[in-house]
Structure 1
């Protein structure tokens, strides 16, 4: 039996990764509502659209972004509020993407039982969405550490683009995180959706991160090393530590996800390798001739 998975977003880097990944997911059929931004704020429009699609699972990424800069009430919290109300009387599983930004960042790492304490408006918005979704009986909230990808605005592209453009890639070396790639997030979402479609009843709050932690300095140095091995790097890294206004630590514990869904984490270097491979496959003209001929 095919199960319909509704992805609320089509345009973000994460949505594009999920769309590409679910195309290969067998009995999961991915669909979209094709609503304009303002229509997500109209309860009657959203409810009618859900009636037409009749999804079994909703993955909500509306307003979510890798770097959090796009988060706003109009694009994140309010559409989620409308969606939640439309789903309240429906037999649908609701998966909400969230972020480490709901935490203070003052601990070395955070688990699901830690009390959220956002340090900025972005974190407050993510937390508000979590509280809305948590009122549904069949819900999953998936918090993520640093998310990296070959496209979009995220820590990886923030580093690789200046390196190849002859500019300085600004980092805050002392920040700590456990990076996960877009492809890794797709792997987790796909596994969750498949198990839900097979009758799994694992609801609530989950974290996902890589199996190990690094500083932003360590991550950037590894990006620079790998990129330099494939093409000419004309830029450099610039550590701006001391001006950090974001959480110090984005590291998340992932044990509950392992216990409930059997999903094993991978290392951040594995995630980096996968995303860099995708990046170079879309930018083959930047490879050094020696690499191209091998």
Structure 2
């Protein structure tokens, strides 16, 4: 199957391309983050028409979230343009979205059927994008995920280790919970979905994938620093808990992933089992910084 990957140079894009290269079952046409900053619908439509893919995979939004860049209205419009182009071309459109479409107010892991209720950007914008995509493309699917862990590029791991290597103390929240996902694991999941789509499966609607184990920013940083201490000196007080207001409860962005399991037979993998390898790769990449 020919797959047009938008934001192919993102952490998830790089991991997915590595998986697809090993498996050798799909042809990939990559478009970088920079090249996907189209100014008009005509440009997006031309990119899809030129590639003539069976599936367009849009990874832009998780890259924006990891980078800390605000999601702009034009970013949302580009997803709508791609969805319309896929509808005209008879192609599948798979959009990688985020758990942040939810407010975090519910205590249980969010099911795919629950209505996105984020009141502020970027979650509210992403929820609107999802709705626009489904309205524009009858062959669309959305995969929501947690924060992506990657040994290269911006994101959770870079935030913690950059401060550690600089000798800075990071003050981190220990109330709000979420389920991160390593980029390599997310690449495996998307590749598995593509395999079954190529075999004739026609997934529609919303799916969730993230690690099964919840954490907080502070808990994640603890695990990262424990792994890093095997390779570099870690000063006391490298991280600290952010003070909490009395009676202030945490929010929850855990995802229930049973629909992905039931539809694609894809199981969740804990993030803690691979954090050591990710930390080691990060430190190798940043030797001499």
TM-score, normalized by length of structure 2?
A: 0.88
Farther off after superposition, 18-27 or 75-84: 18-27
| Contact preservation (8 Å) 2:87, 2:139 | no
Question: What CA distance in whole angstroms lies between the structure 1 residues aligned with 2:67 and 2:194?
Answer: 25
Equivalent residues in 2 for 1:201-280 (5 A)?
201-234=202-235, 236-242=238-244, 248-280=251-283
SS at match of 2:221: helix
When the two structures are aligned, how many residues end up with a matched partner?
283
Question: What CA distance in whole angstroms lies between the structure 1 residues aligned with 2:131 and 2:111?
Answer: 17
Deviation at 1:33, TM superposition (A): 4.5
Farther off after superposition, 274-283 or 254-263: 274-283
Deviation at 1:45, TM superposition (A): 2.5
| Contact preservation (8 Å) 1:61, 1:97 | yes
| Contact preservation (8 Å) 1:146, 1:179 | yes
SS at match of 1:113: coil
Equivalent residues in 2 for 1:99-248 (5 A)?
99-108=98-107, 109-135=109-135, 136-234=137-235, 236-242=238-244, 248=251
Question: What CA distance in whole angstroms lies between the structure 1 residues aligned with 2:88 and 2:10?
Answer: 29
TM-score, normalized by length of structure 1?
A: 0.87
SS at match of 2:122: helix
Question: What CA distance in whole angstroms lies between the structure 1 residues aligned with 2:259 and 2:113?
Answer: 10
Match of residue 76 from structure 1: 75
Deviation at 1:11, TM superposition (A): 4.0
C-alpha change, 1:153 and 1:35, in structure 2 (3 Å) is closer
1:85 aligns with 2:78: no
Q: Deviations over 1:162-191 (max 9, x none)?
A: 112100123111121111111111111110
SS at match of 1:88: helix
Farther off after superposition, 58-67 or 181-190: 58-67
Farther off after superposition, 261-270 or 11-20: 11-20
C-alpha change, 1:174 and 1:5, in structure 2 (3 Å) is same
| Contact preservation (8 Å) 1:68, 1:122 | no
Question: What CA distance in whole angstroms lies between the structure 2 residues aligned with 1:150 and 1:205?
Answer: 28
Question: What CA distance in whole angstroms lies between the structure 1 residues aligned with 2:119 and 2:271?
Answer: 25
| Contact preservation (8 Å) 1:178, 1:250 | yes
| Contact preservation (8 Å) 1:64, 1:71 | no
Computed over aligned residues only, the root mean square deviation of the Cα atoms, in angstroms, reads 2.5
C-alpha change, 1:120 and 1:74, in structure 2 (3 Å) is closer
| Contact preservation (8 Å) 2:67, 2:155 | no
Question: What CA distance in whole angstroms lies between the structure 1 residues aligned with 2:155 and 2:74?
Answer: 19
Deviation at 1:41, TM superposition (A): 3.4
Unaligned stretches of 5+ in structure 1? 287-294
Question: What CA distance in whole angstroms lies between the structure 2 residues aligned with 1:111 and 1:262?
Answer: 17
Question: What CA distance in whole angstroms lies between the structure 2 residues aligned with 1:28 and 1:114?
Answer: 33
1:57 aligns with 2:55: yes
| Contact preservation (8 Å) 2:33, 2:60 | no
Question: What CA distance in whole angstroms lies between the structure 1 residues aligned with 2:156 and 2:12?
Answer: 14
C-alpha change, 1:227 and 1:264, in structure 2 (3 Å) is same
Deviation at 1:285, TM superposition (A): 6.2
SS at match of 1:32: strand
Question: What CA distance in whole angstroms lies between the structure 2 residues aligned with 1:59 and 1:240?
Answer: 37
What is the aligned counterpart of 1:5 among 3, 6, 18?
Answer: 3
Question: What CA distance in whole angstroms lies between the structure 2 residues aligned with 1:68 and 1:114?
Answer: 27
Question: What CA distance in whole angstroms lies between the structure 1 residues aligned with 2:159 and 2:186?
Answer: 19
SS at match of 1:23: helix
Question: What CA distance in whole angstroms lies between the structure 2 residues aligned with 1:33 and 1:212?
Answer: 33
